[in-house]
Amino acid sequence: MSLLKRLLNPNYKSDEKAKQADKADRSSYFPEQKLPIDEKFTFNFKNNGGKFIYCEDWEDISEAFDNIMLENDWYEQNVFCVNEMLTKKFDGFNLNFTKNTDSKFFFSTCESLVSTNGSILLSSNQIKEKKLSELPSNFIIFATTSQIVETISEGLRKIKNQSTGYIPSNITTIQDFETEKEKDFMSYGSSAKNLYLLLLEDL
């Protein structure tokens, strides 16, 4: 079942309960069923505190973006964005696109979405040579379903395969999207971001 059908199908939860009951009846010698990577990413991303918005087309993307602007009162603000495709697509939203990190939010694409830990893989293609701590605390990331990968290693291979003569530097991941939560020793030193993900179906 596709991601869209799983999200919109009212019987999906009852289907899942049936599957869980069936799983309980199965012998312990059977291998455990593997969760699809899109479903695993969605679960882990939300568990990290990210705000996930699934979109079927560009009309959905524009509507979701508009709602984010209204919700946070971000209209007429500076936006750190180095991606020309995004600045052209969202030119009519009364925003000041700049390469200055002292902005209200960071608007960008990404390299991959990593399902294993629900993280976002970024490189110098998106953030130049900036550190995550230098970027605005608010992120809006635009990505497509074809960018979901199982592991960080797979994401790195994808970067290498897509690069022709130039491999991006400053490759990093971000997976802490709850700016208000209390830090534990595992997240010490990380830079939490308030992150919205606009995910466009392209499969």
Domain ranges of the chain: 35-178+193-200
Please report the pLDDT score of residue 20 as a whole number. 56
The angle at the Cα of 16, spanning 10 to 19, to the nearest 5 degrees, equals 145
The stretches in the chain having pLDDT less than 70 are 1-33, 179-191
Please report the pLDDT score of residue 189 as a whole number. 42
d(CA 32, CA 34) in angstroms, rounded, equals 6
Nearest to 86 by CA among 73, 76, 99: 99
Please report the pLDDT score of residue 6 as a whole number. 52
Query: What DSSP letter does each residue of 108-175 carry, written as one string?
Result: E--SEEETTTTEEEE-HHHHTT--GGGS-SEEEEEEEGGGEESSHHHHHHHHHHH-SS------EEE-
Please report the pLDDT score of residue 16 as a whole number. 52
Q: Which CATH superfamily is domain 35-178+193-200 in?
A: NagB/RpiA/CoA transferase-like (3.40.50.10420)
